A and B are shown apart, each in its own frame.
Chain A
Amino acid sequence: MDLDRLRENIARLFLGRVSVRSWRPGENIVETRFLKRKAVVRPLRPPRRVLGTALYGAAMASRISGGPLPLPETTQKARPKKMALSVLPPAVYGWKREETAGKTPGKVDPLRAAPARKGLRLIMDLPQERETRLLHARGKIPSREGEIPLAFFYPVIRDGVAKSILNKEKGTLLVWYNSYSRAFTSRGLLLVRLLRQGGGLEWRWTEIQKHS
């Protein structure tokens, strides 16, 4: 290969692309620093403040500012002040059910008119949620042949139930009670799968067998 030709080509490629800067002594003299540094020692305790030596001359050097040490006997007693929080006692809202004795039961008595909005009835409208207790109820609830128990919900006031819904996702029973009801006797609600032809599910009220 012709080296001269190659050099010429490269020279053409880089022509004008290399900038050369000039430097004259005296301009931008390089500053030299030593790596070794001198450590400055500062006392952690501030020096006594002696008035006069610097500001008023040597004649005032004897004027020393200061006083007795802050002993419990000499110090002024601190007066603690309770800082008032801007957090004030919260407004309490709600309602109560009127006493049932001799009156219309279940009547709602709002405490404050303004905040007695629809949310106040919320807690009354919320259903009670029952989880299955089948795990602990096996052997304590009557079982029949040809069925498989799926869930057992307890306790449920049978005569007080206004509405009930099975939450299939969670496997829980949502129960709405009639607040006018005076029933207090509870039972268990058993859900079984029938194995006979046609099969299907069946709900059945049942008692818990008590063991002595």
Chain B
Amino acid sequence: MERIHDHDPAMPASWNRATKPHRFCPGCGHGIFLKALGEVIDELGIAERTVFGCDIGCSLLAWDFLNVDSVQTHHGRTVPVVVGAKRANPELIVIAYMGDGGGYAIGAQHLVNSAMRNEKITVLLANNTVYAMTGGQMAPTTLPGQTTGTTPYGRDPDATGQPTLGPEMVAAITSNSAYVARGSVSNYPRLKQYVRQALENQLAGRGFSFVEALSGCPTNWHTNAKQTWSYLDDEMTKYFTLGEFKTPGQAEGGEDK
């Protein structure tokens, strides 16, 4: 990690210093997820080859976050954009960065199809159970009973189903050369390891890679610091299991952290 002056905070070299401090809310998980990504890009030495795509919603705040060529796409369309780039130039390392709305709602068809085609891309998805940027509406991963802008009386699973289990779905449909995992910003070393394995999978040209990160959103959860971590570690993990769901060459299966 690069440290230029004593009073400059240390940050990955692949981070764009000019746009720091960033604009994510205090307590937001995106900063942590992107730090893991930044460190991995540095360690693998792939910054020059990397293309970073982000979605709409809070992920769009990452459009100038990294020191790599980046494109903010339309909502749910980051995956097809990076697929196009990767097929045009397979030398590139392409990353599609999005939230649970972009990945599991409007972008679901693209996620499913690129996973089925085993596109050699890496999808990184921050799951905070809400559509944060637009003011906290229900998301595919909203928990049963959770109050949101469009579930003012709490999410009723009879009416709108259970929270979407993205990595489980992706693992079920991808080839055995794919890498699929779910981490949490609350366990940084493990999350970083998953991100690294995901990018290594693409580097090795093996196939699709997907990492979901349970991510905090105190702004839309209306939680203080203690409650935020508790929601991540105690509530969300009741529905979203942490672990690796597919590692190349092995049969499907998830291991708890």
Chain A bound to chain B: no
- Residues on B lying within 8 angstroms of A by beta carbon are none
